[in-house]
Each structure stands twice: as structure tokens, then as C-alpha cells.
Chain A
Amino acid sequence: AQTVTQSQPEMSVQEAETVTLSCTYDTSENNYYLFWYKQPPSRQMILVIRQEAYKQQNATENRFSVNFQKAAKSFSLKISDSQLGDTAMYFCAFMMGPGANSKLTFGKGITLSVRP
């Protein structure tokens, strides 16, 4: 079975600064996908970024980027130029591949607060 660990329950960052959210996972699979989801106070789950394990290049989406270390089974999210709207809970998640016909395994989440 796969496990996803987010060991930091809360983090705080000053607006316009950079923050890194940590995530580690455990799996015996070689093909899989990793995700970061954002959940603002509205409760909506929003996909932030996705990484395919077979790709060595780290995924990037505007101010969001990941540091994917496959050997270390580490998948951290870096948020640059933090904005007040980034205040939310963030979940790291794992999906087995190939085929992507599978369910998500989530970490416990981290609450990020961006201070003005």
C-alpha cells in the first residue's frame, strides 16, 4: 500500500516571500503520479500541480514548482511570491500508474497562512 506523509501541520509566510511545503511518500511502484491540491476556505479542491514519476524534469505552473526526488521519495512544493490568496490547506497526493485508472492517496495536509 502507498503512504503519503506531510509532517508539518502548519506553516506561515510573509506576503511576497517564498515557502516550501514538504511531502514524502512510500511505494514499491515505479510508475506513478504525484499531485498537490489546494483547499481554500471555500472547501473546493483545486489541482495545483502534477508530476509524472517517469519525467525527470520538475513540473512548474506559474509561481508553483516542485522538487521531485524520486530516489528519496520526496515531493516538495515551492510557492514563490506568496499572495494572500495562497492561504489554504495543501494536500500532497499519490496515484498509481500507468493508465491513471486509479484512486488518490492523500497526505494529512498542511495549513498555509500568508501574512500581509
Chain B
Amino acid sequence: DAEITQSPRHKITETGRQVTLACHQTWNHNNMFWYRQDLGHGLRLIHYSYGVQDTNKGEVSDGYSVSRSNTEDLPLTLESAASSQTSVYFCASSPGQGNTEAFFGQGTRLTVV
């Protein structure tokens, strides 16, 4: 079955380190998104991509970057992790082209100490 997976599920890192969270989908969806979830804020969009080589900034993009070299993957990189980036991160994908349903990964809980 097609799916979307995130790795790792949990990570603890130190302030100032570079961290990359992986997202891989086998739906062959063009659209991929990264959100962060924080109590009192719901889910907020970090970056998104509508296809290979396409990336766009979302609402809370500072300190994060993404790259889209193929359809299946959209890794999220924290350039220099900060305590304010402690959060749960969700990757999602959607077919677009009139199909509105988004499919979410299981989430990655990142703790920056």
C-alpha cells in the first residue's frame, strides 16, 4: 500500500546542531508540505513544494530549509537547531489537481536541548 513515512519518530539534539528530518511518500503526489505543531498554535506551515525542484516558504520558515530532488522525498533541515524549534513536525502530501485530501505522516517529535 502507498504511504507517507517520517523518520526518525523521536529525536533529541543539542542547540546549534544541524538536523534533518526525513519524509518519504509512495503516493507519487506532486504536493508535499511540512508543518509544526505546538500547543496553542495548532499546525503551522513551514515549507511546501508543488513538484521536483520547487520549494516555497510557509508561515514559519525562518531557520528551516527544504529541497525537492525527486517526487518521493522532501527532507526538512534545521540549519542550527534552537530551543524554540522543539516541536512535533508533520509531513503531508496531496495529489492536487482537484483532489483536496492530504495524507499525513506519523509525526516527528524533536527536542532541542
Contact = CB atoms under 8 A, between A and B. Distances in A.
Interface of A: 4, 6, 33, 35, 43-45, 47, 50, 91, 95, 97-101, 103-109
Nearest to A52: B100
B101 interface: yes
B96 interface: yes
Main secondary structure of the interface of B (DSSP, over half): strand
A14 B30 CA distance: 42
Given A35-B100, A99-B96, 11 more contacts: A43-B88, A44-B104, A44-B106, A100-B96, A100-B97, A104-B45, A104-B92, A105-B45, A106-B42, A107-B42, A108-B42
**Which range contains the number of B residues in contact with the other chain?**
20 to 34
A89 to B, nearest CB: 9
Nearest to B48: A103
B50 to A, nearest CB: 7
Contacts of A4: 42
B33 A103 contact: yes
Contact of B100 (A33, A45, A91, A105): A33
A64 B104 CA distance: 21
A23 to B, nearest CB: 11
Nearest to B38: A108
A60 to B, nearest CB: 17
